[in-house]
Amino acid sequence: MSPEFLVVIPARLGSTRLPRKPLADIGGKPMVIRVAERAQQSNAQSVVVATDSPEIQAACDEHRIECLLTSPDHLTGTDRIAEVAQLLKLPAHTLVVNVQGDEPLIPPELINQVAQTLADNAACAISTVAVPIVDASEITNPNVVKVVLNKVGEALYFSRASIPFVRDTSTSSNVTHLRHLGIYAYRADFLQAYARLEPAPPEQAEALEQLRALWNGYRIAVHTAHEAPPAGVDTAQDLERVRRIFAS
C-alpha cells in the first residue's frame, strides 16, 4: 500500500538565470501550474505551492492550486518547506515531498517512489533519488551533483566533484558514478529541526543544502532509478524545449 504524503512546490520569482521562471508560459499555463498538475497525478493527498510572490499566489488561485505565501527571507527551498510544515501544523511523521518548481515534466511515479523510499526507511529523515551516469563528461561537470552510497543505499556524501575519485583506472569497471536528482521527501519533524540548524561548512563550500543534514548526523535514503526523468528548466533553451513537448 502506498504511503500517505503531500507535495510542496517551492516557487521563487527571483530566478537569476531565467527571470520570472515560475510564471513562464507553457502551452497557455504558467510553469508552476504545470508542475502542480503533474504532482496531482501522483498519489499525493494534497499539492501545495509555497512562494514569496503574490503574483505566483494569484496564478495558483486562478487555476485552483493551493498556495501558501511564505517569507521572502528563506535561503533554501527546504527552509521554505519547513515554514509550510509549520503553517499547516503537520504531525511529526507526515511525509512531505519537495518537487522543484521548474520540473514541468516530472514523472508522477518518481514522486511516488521518493515517498515510498522514505516510508520504507524508518531510520532516515530524508529520501532522494539518483541515476547512473552514462555520459562520462558529467562525472567532472560541477553542475552535475554526484552522490556516493553505502551498502544499504544511504548517502555517504554529495559533491560537485568527481566522486568516487578513481585513482587506479584498472579498477574503474567496478565503479558506478551516480547523479543526484533534486527531488526529496522529508519527515515533518526533520523539517522543523532543519530550520534551526546552522549552515554547515561543506554545504557552504559545495552550495548543496542536503549536506547540512549529513553534517548534523541525519540519514538520507537514496532510491537508484534506472534512467533520468526529462530535464527541468534552467535556461531559455530548456524552456523552448519544454514548450515544444507540450505543443506536440
Please report which residue ranges of the chain form alpha helices under DSSP H: 31-40, 54-62, 77-87, 108-120, 188-194, 201-206, 210-215, 236-247
Fold assignment, 5-247: Spore Coat Polysaccharide Biosynthesis Protein SpsA; Chain A (3.90.550)
**Cα→Cα distances 73→69, 80, 180, 181, 211, Å:** 12, 9, 26, 25, 20
Q: Where are the beta strands (DSSP E) in the chain?
A: 5-11, 25-26, 29-30, 46-51, 66-69, 95-98, 126-132, 146-149, 155-159, 178-187, 220-224
**H or E element that contains 234:** none
Biggest CA-to-CA distance, the chain: 59
Residues in the chain: 248
How does pLDDT run across 91-104, given as a tens digit for each residue? Answer: 999 999 999 999 99
Question: Beta-carbon neighbour count of residue 69 at 10 Å?
Answer: 15
Tens digits of residue pLDDT in 122-157: 999 999 999 999 998 999 999 999 999 999 999 999
Q: What are phi and psi of 171, to 5 degrees?
A: -100, 0
**β-strands 46-51, 66-69 pairing:** parallel
Average pLDDT along the chain: 93
pLDDT of 22 > 90? The answer is yes
Query: How do residues 192-220 score in pLDDT, each as one tens digit?
Result: 998 899 999 999 999 999 999 999 999 99
Q: What's the pLDDT at 171? A: 66
Burial of 13 per CB tally in 10 Å (0-12, 13-18, 19+): middle
- The residue behind cell 538520507 is 220
In the numeric block, which cell numbers belong to residue 25?
A: 508560459
Is residue 192 within 8 A of residue 86, CB to CB? The reply is: yes
